[in-house]
Structure 1
Amino acid sequence: MRLLILGTGGMANQHAKHFAAIDGVTLVGGVDVDPKRVEAFNTAHNIPNAFPSLDAALAWGEFDAIANVTPDAIHHPTSMAAIAAGKHVFCEKPLATDYAKAMEMTEAAEKAGVVNMVNLTYRNVAQLQRARQIVQSGEIGKVKHVEASYLQSWLVSKAWGDWRTESQWLWRLSKKHGSNGTLGDIGIHILDFAVYGAGSDIDHVFCRLKTFDKAPGNKIGEYDLDANDSFAMTLELENGALGVVHATRWATGHFNELRLRVYGEKGGVEVQHRHDWSKLLVCSGEDAETGTWKEVAVEPVETNYQRFAKAVAQGKTMEPSFRHAANIQKVLDTAVVTEQDRHEHTV
């Protein structure tokens, strides 16, 4: 697979590193409107060709697929152009800024017959994949209750940098800079974490969003700090289970932590994932009578990058697909509506 990396900002370095390590994948080009940035990126990753736009790269055409690492609002037009040119697309999350655009991308990719996947990175957590297997095997019985959280603390501490002065954080707090806040940024991750681990999509949702005062007039320079900082959501899954999902950037002491608990009529599973370790705990069978939770060891799994390369080689889309990401986007869009009218909606 000859791969073009579209957008050469921070996350693009992860794409370049992971794809370059896969046998059969060749990084053939980088694209960025900033010539200095793409030059530095290509030099760092030994990429031979640089382009100022996707149009220029498509005119060249000597590649099979793109890794779309552009800003969220640019995912739609660039992916649509690549799909029209018959290129496979591996897109960063969220797939689009709203469900309508996400479905347009999905339907275009499926009609064109190109491989389409979204980099929902926590699918790479082996403990989550094993938890899903346990749930789907019936070991914990029919799922009754799901609890999931995504906790970050970069509004509390400067461990990742100072959000008050650095644009890489400030834009995430500003609607006019393309942010849908915590819901849009990490909500898609924790919802995918929850539905994948629980083995069921979402049927109903109700959500509350909260934006806290963070500066005089809630403004720093050109940034209006009006995007949501926290959300709390109740769900009903298609399998009938009740779910509670919440996320915040104010979680003191939690740099980047996801947690999922799935409870069934015969047992439960819990996945804990941090930036530095992951755990899978299971309580089932006789242990359910004593409330004993045991940690389960798991082997590493293929990454999204590896699955995409394999999908292109086989000519068949693997999960997480555009359609799955579009379905999650519909939940996010519906959540915003429920905040406005204060009652539950069917997804």
Structure 2
Amino acid sequence: MSRKVAVIATGFTGQQHTEAIRRIPGNEVAALVDANPEALKAKAKALGVAKAYTDYKQMIEEIHPDVIHNCTPNGLHYEINKYVMEQGIHIYCEKPLAITVEQGEELAEIAEKKHVAAGVNFNYRNNAIVQEMKERVQNGSAGRIFHVTGQYFQDWMMLDTDYNWRLTSDMGGASRTIADIGSHWFDTAQYVMGKKIVSVRASVLTVHPFRKKPAKAAETFQKASSDNYQLVPIESEDAAFVQVKFEDGTFGTVNLSQVIGGHLNDLRLEIAGEKCSMEWRQENPDYLSIGTRELGTQIIRSAPGTLSGDAVRYATLPGGHPVAWTDALRNGIREYYTSIEKGTFGQAGQSYATFADGVQIMKLVEACMKSAKTGAWVDLS
């Protein structure tokens, strides 16, 4: 008997979740939900989903789904996540869990109390090469870790005519670049290191204090088509420069920007160890660069025969068959559903990010914003 799954919001992310769910045996996308009836009708037809609703509560009452994927804008996450879990339904949510840390902590408590599987989508950790990096850090292949460096660069907010709901504090939250893309780097780095970040120091930059909001909204990564604009003041950051300290004392740095031309989704993570360095770039996800003083740089490609330990099961295609962003997304969702099947979702050490992990990332983002105001290191309490 298949699990009934519903996806709330049918934009870019909701469509990707729908397709990923269908690639995992035992799941049926039974319904889509979107507040925009015109978009909902078109997306339901395009995706071949029979039932479509503009009210998620009505959907829950009528079809009683086993799992719900929450792909709505950030400002709607808390209300929906809370209601879904209070009905005893499993939830898989886009990050962040909510707008404030306090809301996130409340949601994590509800998940534990109601004993539901509560996952948050930090999908980059589910790439096979990221899993391989983690294996090599944990088994000592890299030796003692000296430091961690990285970046996450995009250019979709480069122009003052670029506008999206993420720019508003009520929907996007107080932070944009750190919360939107820095959170992904934090999660990936912590997952590979097997250590949490405990202290941060950050500087932020807003290059467009005013942006031109179009009369008609555009989906994420799409350009607005309207020539009619309203000038809107911007409070969130376009770029950030963050120093981090892990719980074992290891230091790291990451540069973040959504206004750097020519970079579409350029996440880079590099681990400097005493035996070798390891570098992974999200835009070339099948390749791990390993650098040594003696041999220079060697490239390992993702394939079952070249990966080690638990990383092997994340290599779902033979070598030479490139994987993609959608495969990492599917891998994380697969791990989430596996924990439901086995009844292990309440245990610590899940390979996907849980609501508890999501709260810790929210605290990191909050600490970065506090540091940006004072210029000082901020410890996570």
Q: How does the TM-score come out when normalised to structure 1?
A: 0.89
Q: Give the match for residue 230 of structure 2.
A: 221
2:333 is the counterpart of 1:333: no
Q: Give the match for residue 124 of structure 1.
A: 126
Q: Give the match for residue 212 of structure 1.
A: 207
Q: How far apart in 1 are the matches of 2:242 and 2:356? A: 22
Q: How far apart in 1 are the matches of 2:171 and 2:360? A: 24
Offset from partner CA, 1:153-182 (integer Å, 9 cap, x none):
2244xxxxx7716xxx43333435535221
Q: Is the 8 A contact 1:174 1:224 kept in 2?
A: no
* DSSP 3-state at the match of 1:186: helix
The one-letter code of the counterpart of 1:45 is L
> Judging changes above 3 Å, is the alpha-carbon distance between structure 1 residues 218 and 338 closer, same or farther for their aligned structure 2 residues?
farther
* DSSP 3-state at the match of 2:156: coil
The offset of 1:195, in angstroms, is 1.3
The offset of 1:124, in angstroms, is 3.0
Q: Give the match for residue 42 of structure 1.
A: 44
Q: Give the match for residue 198 of structure 2.
A: 203
Q: Give the match for residue 55 of structure 1.
A: 57
Q: How far apart in 2 are the matches of 1:172 and 1:50? A: 26
Q: Is the 8 A contact 1:174 1:223 kept in 2?
A: no
The one-letter code of the counterpart of 1:228 is E
Q: Give the match for residue 164 of structure 1.
A: 161
Q: How far apart in 2 are the matches of 1:256 and 1:109? A: 32
* DSSP 3-state at the match of 2:370: helix
2:307 is the counterpart of 1:307: no
Q: How far apart in 1 are the matches of 2:211 and 2:114? A: 50
Q: Is the 8 A contact 1:28 1:47 kept in 2?
A: yes
Deviates more, 1:31-40 or 1:5-14: 31-40
Q: Is the 8 A contact 2:111 2:118 kept in 1?
A: yes
1:246 corresponds to which of 252, 255, 258: 255
The offset of 1:217, in angstroms, is 9.6
Q: Is the 8 A contact 2:119 2:353 kept in 1?
A: yes
Q: Is the 8 A contact 2:213 2:231 kept in 1?
A: no
Offset from partner CA, 1:9-42 (integer Å, 9 cap, x none):
2211101111112211001111122222222222
2:294 corresponds to which of 282, 290, 299: 290
Q: Is the 8 A contact 1:209 1:232 kept in 2?
A: yes
Q: Give the match for residue 175 of structure 1.
A: 169
Q: How far apart in 2 are the matches of 1:308 and 1:291? A: 39
* DSSP 3-state at the match of 1:221: strand
Q: How far apart in 2 are the matches of 1:9 and 1:273? A: 22
Q: Give the match for residue 281 of structure 1.
A: 289
Which runs of 5 or more residues in structure 1 are unaligned?
157-161
> Judging changes above 3 Å, is the alpha-carbon distance between structure 1 residues 73 and 173 closer, same or farther for their aligned structure 2 residues?
closer
1:321 corresponds to which of 324, 341, 354: 354
The one-letter code of the counterpart of 1:98 is T
The one-letter code of the counterpart of 1:170 is N
How many residues end up aligned between the 2 structures?
A: 334
Q: How far apart in 2 are the matches of 1:218 and 1:182? A: 18
> Judging changes above 3 Å, is the alpha-carbon distance between structure 1 residues 174 and 295 closer, same or farther for their aligned structure 2 residues?
same
Which runs of 5 or more residues in structure 2 are unaligned?
215-228, 304-314, 317-329
The offset of 1:64, in angstroms, is 0.2
2:84 is the counterpart of 1:82: yes
The one-letter code of the counterpart of 1:175 is S
1:190 corresponds to which of 175, 178, 185: 185
Q: How far apart in 1 are the matches of 2:59 and 2:160? A: 35
Question: How many percent of aligned residue pairs carry the same amino acid?
Answer: 25
* DSSP 3-state at the match of 2:5: strand
Q: Is the 8 A contact 1:173 1:224 kept in 2?
A: no
Q: How far apart in 1 are the matches of 2:209 and 2:76? A: 28
The offset of 1:102, in angstroms, is 1.2
> Judging changes above 3 Å, is the alpha-carbon distance between structure 1 residues 205 and 292 closer, same or farther for their aligned structure 2 residues?
same
Q: Is the 8 A contact 1:146 1:198 kept in 2?
A: no
Q: Is the 8 A contact 2:71 2:94 kept in 1?
A: yes
The one-letter code of the counterpart of 2:342 is Q
The one-letter code of the counterpart of 1:164 is T
1:5 corresponds to which of 4, 7, 13: 7
The offset of 1:125, in angstroms, is 2.0
Q: How far apart in 1 are the matches of 2:231 and 2:52? A: 31
The offset of 1:215, in angstroms, is 5.1
2:109 is the counterpart of 1:112: no
- Please give the root-mean-square deviation of Cα atoms over the aligned residues, in Å: 2.2
Q: How far apart in 1 are the matches of 2:51 and 2:33? A: 9
Q: Give the match for residue 280 of structure 2.
A: 271
2:50 is the counterpart of 1:22: no
Q: Is the 8 A contact 2:75 2:171 kept in 1?
A: no
Q: How far apart in 2 are the matches of 1:171 and 1:34? A: 15
* DSSP 3-state at the match of 2:82: helix
* DSSP 3-state at the match of 2:133: helix
Q: How far apart in 2 are the matches of 1:277 and 1:266? A: 23
> Judging changes above 3 Å, is the alpha-carbon distance between structure 1 residues 214 and 204 closer, same or farther for their aligned structure 2 residues?
closer
